[in-house]
Amino acid sequence: MKVYQTNEIKNIALVGGAKSGKTTIAEAMLFEGGLIKRRGTTDDKNTVSDYRAIELERQNSISSTLLYIEHNGYKINIIDAPGFDDFIGEVVAALKVADTAVMVINAQTGIDVGTDLSWRYASQNGTSVIFAINHLEHENSNFDEIIRQLKQTYGNSVTICQYPVNSGLGFNAVIDLLKMKMLKFPENGGTPEVLDIPEAEKAKAEELQGILIENAAEADESLMEIFFEEGTLTEDQLKKGLKAGITNRGMYPVMCVAGKHNMGVQRLLEFITDNAPCPNELKNAKTVEGKVLEYKTTNPASVFIFKTGIEEHLGEISFFKIYSGEITEGMDMVNATNGSKERISQIFSIAGKNREKLTKAVAGDIVATIKLKSCFTNDTLNAGKNSEDVIVPIVFPEPKFRTAIKAKNQADDEKLGAVLNEMHKVDQTILIEYSKELKQIILSGQGELHLNIAKWMLETLHKIEIEFIAPKIPYRETITKSAKTTYRHKKQSGGAGQFGEVHIMIQPYTEGMANQTEFPIRATTEEKLNWGGKLIFNNCIVGGAIDARFLPAILKGIMEKMEEGPLTGSYARDIVVNVYDGKMHPVDSNELSFKLAGRQAFREAFKLAGPKILEPIYDVEVIVPSDRMGDVMTDLQGRRAVVMGMDSEGNYQIIKAKVPLAEMNKYSTSLSSLTSGRATYSLKYADYQQVPSDVQTALLKAYEEQEKDED
């Protein structure tokens, strides 16, 4: 393969909802680009894109796949992204490095959650958008309704460049408003016959071309002046305006395809090479320090790893985009994220599991390498003077589904941990937490399907039998009023005994609160707790009732009890402890005695101080079709949700609420059932709040039963 220069490269991501036909279109693109001689299908399990074992079994994309073709003098890098929102992390990463999003819409079902999420992330990245309406050959396809939805949701910048003459069964022709011709496709697809527009379509075509010209003129001030003077644009002026509009996101062209029959894909590729921006025609990437990296081959090289994969017989493979300079085989680079030195031993253009070896690649290209020592997704590699530059990383969505995981065979525990960490390398939206607090391994992801796929991989590929169990909730314990108590620890068993007596007063802590005045405070220790909140430890001892050397032991005993709260064994937080008196024994007092006395004094005082259980509250945002909002609202209210507000976005309603984590178990499954898979949600930790009294009673009872069982 020749070395393509920056202005000869187009980077596109095929995104959109599940079952919109992205993989089928990708297959047709590879066929038209001459990379394959025969088009595969997902039904036959022989597409270039969906080649992984789990994808062959499920017949849908699970991971994004990097592909490429050479077409019309350009190299087109194609990232085929999954459609299910459980795998949204793959879409987010693809849109980070793609310059144009080809958003594929199913002509039967229209805009769905996958479309909307892809649009959101494309907007955040400033990625250009081209709409490709697919499945036009199906009897339930409705092009006009799709256009209505697109304009209603994304505005009048949605611009028709093609429309079908006969969508539905027998579809084989489109009117192309750029060529002002009818393209009629042969039965097996491929190169269309170019015909004059039929008389019956001329008026409609002229009207739509007028809108296209007007939108193109608005993308460029000089063209707008010409348009006002002449009332139209020449073909070259139209092309200039169209490219400007796509590049600055002032236009979102609509193209027509039937990917399964390879109709319109050739023209879509031609449209991309003519009008989609090259990397150097867009805004340049920035580092976290705000430095701009220009797509210039003469600058020092900077590359960004947007995806990590693990391939059989190959090992770890790093996919990256070159944001500056050029890279060559054997080149030494520095990982700016962790300081490790790396060598680019080989460079590949990737098409699924197939690789084309390169000797060099330049700014703007998307390629891959293998055998990097210490590189992961979101790392930046640099050469030369810019060794410390870190490109702004991908912000992956917060997890929204969690479960506890354990190996059925205890002997597999170590292997399970290693494999889970390997899975996180490949998929940054799979998070693993080894919770000392809950005594569980918590596996988090984007939905039940997401984690079920992880389970399949563990059991099928790695031969580790595992089980999912309900995750515990990380409750917290605190107090609501002051309380005093005294505790004497005394033990005599021959020889030196143990003696320590502690008098304490505890209070609820709030930020900015005034100190108590009942006892003089001689010294204060402030402990910022790892699990949130604070412990304030005040030394109020007067007259040497307890020697100062024993106070750290008292604090240690209290901290131990805060790690296993008196109510349910959960962490305690936000408490002020005042040690104001006590007694010592000249022989039997020691650090252990006062640690145990402090621990028990705290335990007894806690139970007298209006103890309360706190639960984690999450901010939840649900994107739901308007016609299903009532069902979703009812379900949320049943989960103790407090609705904070609502908004609308096209045909969708956005519900914002605060919901206890305890009520969100398997919510993604319930939401999918309520809305037939048309809704999605996100959640993010907000704060801790007191549980209602009936919930607290139930939790205390459950803890008592658990303690009995363990005894």
What architecture does CATH give domain 481-600? 2-Layer Sandwich (3.30)
- Tell me the three state secondary structure of residue 305: strand
Give 551's contacts (C-beta < 8 A, 6+ positions apart).
539, 541, 579
Distance CA 663, CA 675 (A): 19
**Angle 578-584-589 from CA coordinates, rounded to 5°:** 110
Q: How many residues does the chain have?
A: 711
Predicted pLDDT of residue 222 = 86
Ranges for all domains in the chain classified under CATH 3.40.50.300: 7-276
Distance CA 35, CA 48 (A): 10
Ranges for all domains in the chain classified under CATH 2.40.30.10: 285-386
Predicted pLDDT of residue 417 = 93
Ranges for all domains in the chain classified under CATH 3.30.230.10: 481-600
Q: Find residue 381's DSSP bridge partners.
A: 303, 335
H or E segment and range at residue 292? strand 292-293
Distance CA 454, CA 88 (A): 15
Select from 163, 154, 169 the least CA-distant residue to 115: 154
| CATH (residue range 613-695) | 3.30.70.240
331-335, strands of its sheet edge to edge: 341-344, 331-335, 380-382, 302-311, 315-324, 366-370, 347-351, 354-358
- Name the region of 401 (left: φ>0; alpha: ψ -120 to 50; beta: rest): beta
Distance CA 399, CA 447 (A): 8
What CA dihedral angle connects 368, 374, 378 and 379, to 10 degrees? -90
Distance CA 584, CA 582 (A): 7
For residue 398, the one-letter residue type is: E
Predicted pLDDT of residue 559 = 96
- Tell me the three state secondary structure of residue 535: strand
CB neighbour class for 635 (10 Å; exposed up to 12, middle 13-18, buried from 19): middle
Domain 285-386, CATH number (from 1.10.468.10, 1.20.120.1770, 3.30.365.10, 2.40.30.10): 2.40.30.10
Ranges under pLDDT 70 in the chain: 386, 494-495, 709-711
Helical packing angle, 265-275 and 235-247, nearest 10° = 80
Sign of CA dihedral 517, 518, 523, 529: negative
Distance CA 547, CA 459 (A): 59
3-state SS of 384-427 is HHHCCCCECCCCCCCCCEEEEEEECCHHHHHHHHHHHHHHHHHC
Ranges for all domains in the chain classified under CATH 3.30.70.870: 401-472
Encoded tokens for 390: 């870190």
Distance CA 641, CA 471 (A): 20
Predicted pLDDT of residue 710 = 61
Helix-strand-coil split of the chain, %, nearest 5: 30, 30, 35
With respect to CATH, is domain 401-472 assigned 3.30.70.870? yes
Encoded tokens for 515: 């100190």
C-beta of residue 359 within 8 angstroms of C-beta of residue 347:
yes
Distance CA 99, CA 78 (A): 10
> What confidence tens digit (pLDDT) does each residue in 642-687 have?
999 999 877 789 999 999 999 998 898 899 889 888 888 999 999 9
Select from 65, 654, 611 the least CA-distant residue to 354: 65
Predicted pLDDT of residue 494 = 66
| CATH (residue range 7-276) | 3.40.50.300
Sign of CA dihedral 338, 342, 344, 345: negative
Give 434's contacts (C-beta < 8 A, 6+ positions apart).
417, 441
Predicted pLDDT of residue 505 = 97
Bridging pattern class, strands 575-583 and 498-508:
antiparallel
Select from 173, 375, 338 the least CA-distant residue to 257: 173
CB neighbour class for 338 (10 Å; exposed up to 12, middle 13-18, buried from 19): exposed
